[in-house]
């Protein structure tokens, strides 16, 4: 579930009708998507569509099912457990390689850590973000395309190639007595 106002970052417009408890979301193609608070049926261009869960109000914020809304408007969704980040991207998203390869070290590093990490191996569950409040990113001097991400328990080594972040290795940060 994500706050409805975060959908603006996807180029979607939204409005809230407090009287009917209805959220209306519109994209640039003028497709209209309506959700009523507490109901699991939404309406896309007037046609009923079953959602995975109901839209609801939590502490004064209208929360909507991220997966359902994203996919309804043609976006892909990826939840990266390691850092606890939800990535929502258009299906034709292309990373800004100029930012990753920028001579501005800070900008290039921010662009690198903004990419979702892909794995060719099963990540250690101890690496998941909800296992620790602590985390660090570490780059070697003047490096922008390789870094480590550590939550204090497990460190993940990440390499950026062709605009894709790939975990290439993980190791435990915890010394086991023995």
pLDDT digits (tens, 9 = 90+) for 109-118: 999 999 999 9
Q: What is the mean pLDDT of the chain?
A: 87
What CATH number has the domain bearing residue 12?
A: 3.30.457.10
Tokens linked to 8: 């603006």
Same domain as 153, residue 104: yes
- pLDDT given for residue 109 in this prediction: 96
State whether residue 87 is helix, strand or coil. strand
| Predicted TM-score (pTM) of this structure | 0.73
Same domain as 61, residue 11: yes
CB-based contacts of 92, cutoff 8 Å, min separation 6: none
């Amino acid at each position: 579930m994500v706050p409805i106002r975060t959908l603006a970052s996807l180029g979607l417009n939204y409005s809230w009708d407090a009287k009917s408890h209805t959220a209306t979301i519109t994209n640039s193609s003028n497709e209209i998507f309506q959700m009523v608070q507490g109901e699991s049926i939404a309406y896309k261009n007037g046609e009923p569509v079953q959602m995975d869960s109901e839209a609801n109000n939590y502490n004064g914020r209208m929360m909507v099912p991220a997966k359902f809304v994203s996919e309804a408007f043609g976006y892909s969704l990826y939840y990266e457990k390691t850092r606890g980040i939800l990535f929502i991207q258009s299906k034709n998203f292309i990373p800004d390689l100029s930012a990753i390869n920028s001579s501005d070290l800070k900008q290039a590093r921010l662009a690198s850590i903004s990419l979702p990490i892909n794995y060719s191996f099963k990540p250690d569950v101890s690496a998941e973000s909800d296992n620790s409040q602590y985390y660090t990113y570490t780059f070697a001097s003047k490096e922008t395309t390789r870094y480590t991400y550590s939550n204090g328990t497990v460190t993940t080594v990440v390499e950026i190639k062709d605009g894709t972040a790939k975990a290439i290795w993980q190791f435990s940060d915890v010394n086991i007595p023995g």
